[in-house]
Every structure is written in structure tokens, then in C-alpha cells.
A and B are shown apart, each in its own frame.
Chain A
């Protein structure tokens, strides 16, 4: 089984709908991250969490919220989806006790907002 899983893998939704993307990990890592990737661009950080009680905004957090339900679970929500949130979304994890803090990525969720 994959160490970092994301559900759903693909989602099509309409403008204005609320949607949640979920990430789970079995690596035992304390740090988790959400990124988005637009066509032809690198990944940009949306939110990150260094432990269950720590949530931080990244570079592009507007229009998104997150929840760290447990050490192994980190969810990303779009409260009211808009078309320019159409993108590929990646979750990642890292071990905050293990320099050099390598990040491990999930397979991605392709989100289309119509």
C-alpha cells in the first residue's frame, strides 16, 4: 500500500460547491503539506502543519481551509469552489525529527471546477 494516499483521485464539481480533499499517511510523519500545481507551473504551497495543533498558511491560502484531524490525516477544503481552483493538488509529508526533512508526495488529486 502507498505510504501517502489522497482521495478522491479525480473530481469534477460545479462553481459554488463545497469540496474536501483528503490525505492520509502511514509513514508516522508529523509534518504534512498541501500544494497545488497549475499547468506548466511548479507546485505552490497552500497550507502546512508541523503537528496536530499547528496549522500555517502557505503562499496561496485564500479560498482554502484545512483540518488536521489526526497526525495521519490532513484535509483540504474549498468552501465555495471557483473555476480558477481547477488544478492538480498534492499532499506531502515529512519527518520533523529527521534532517534533511525530505518530503514524500501523494499521487495527486485532479480537481476540475466547471
Chain B
């Protein structure tokens, strides 16, 4: 059974700092890994999707990397802003066995960026 863990559970940083969010997963048989943003009580906003054959994806100040063999991904946020404050969720899309075609989510990292 696929398990996804996100570290840290919460992070508070001053504005302007660069930061890294971590995601690990137990089964390397995946089609892709997605990073989502969720504002309190709101829906999911897809930030980046990394296919299993890719090593990283970039969008603006965000960069996500994937090391499938070690079961790890990182989301790097450059020059953080108060507007980046949200919960960040990592999810892997299974490619084999009972995880096929299903997303397994981590519990999220709550990010607070203070002015």
C-alpha cells in the first residue's frame, strides 16, 4: 500500500526566505507526482505535476524535483511572500498493484509566511 509523508507538518518563515517542503513515498511505481496548494476551507489548486520520467518542473518561483528511485520529492519556493501562506499537499499517482490509477495524498505542510 502506498504511503505518502510530508515533512515538516508546519513551517513559519519570514517574508523573502527561500524554503523547501519535503514529500516521501513508499512505492516507486508511480505515473506522476503532483503538488497542490489549498487555502483554508477551499479547494485544491494544482501547482506542478512531475511525470515519473522527469526530474523536475518549474513554474515561476516554484521548483519541484522528483527522485523516484529513493521515493522523494521536494518543492522549493523562492523568495517567499505572505500570499504563499497555505497548506501544500503532495500526491502520487500509482502505476501498479492496488495503487493503480489512484492518488495517494500526504497530510500536507501548513506554511505561514509573515511580513
Contacts and interface: CB of A to CB of B under 8 A. Distances in A.
Interface of A: 31, 33, 35, 40-45, 48, 50, 58, 88, 90, 92, 94, 96, 99-108, 110
A111 to B, nearest CB: 13
A110 B42 CA distance: 9
Nearest to B103: A103
Interface string B27-66: 0000110100000011110100101100000000000000
Q: Is the interface of B mostly helix, strand, loop or mixed?
A: strand
Interface residues of B, number: 23
15 contacts: A33-B103, A40-B108, A41-B107, A42-B4, A45-B104, A48-B101, A90-B43, A90-B44, A96-B101, A100-B52, A100-B93, A102-B32, A105-B43, A108-B44, A110-B41
A70 B31 CA distance: 27
B31 A42 contact: no
Contact of B93 (A40, A48, A101, A108): A101
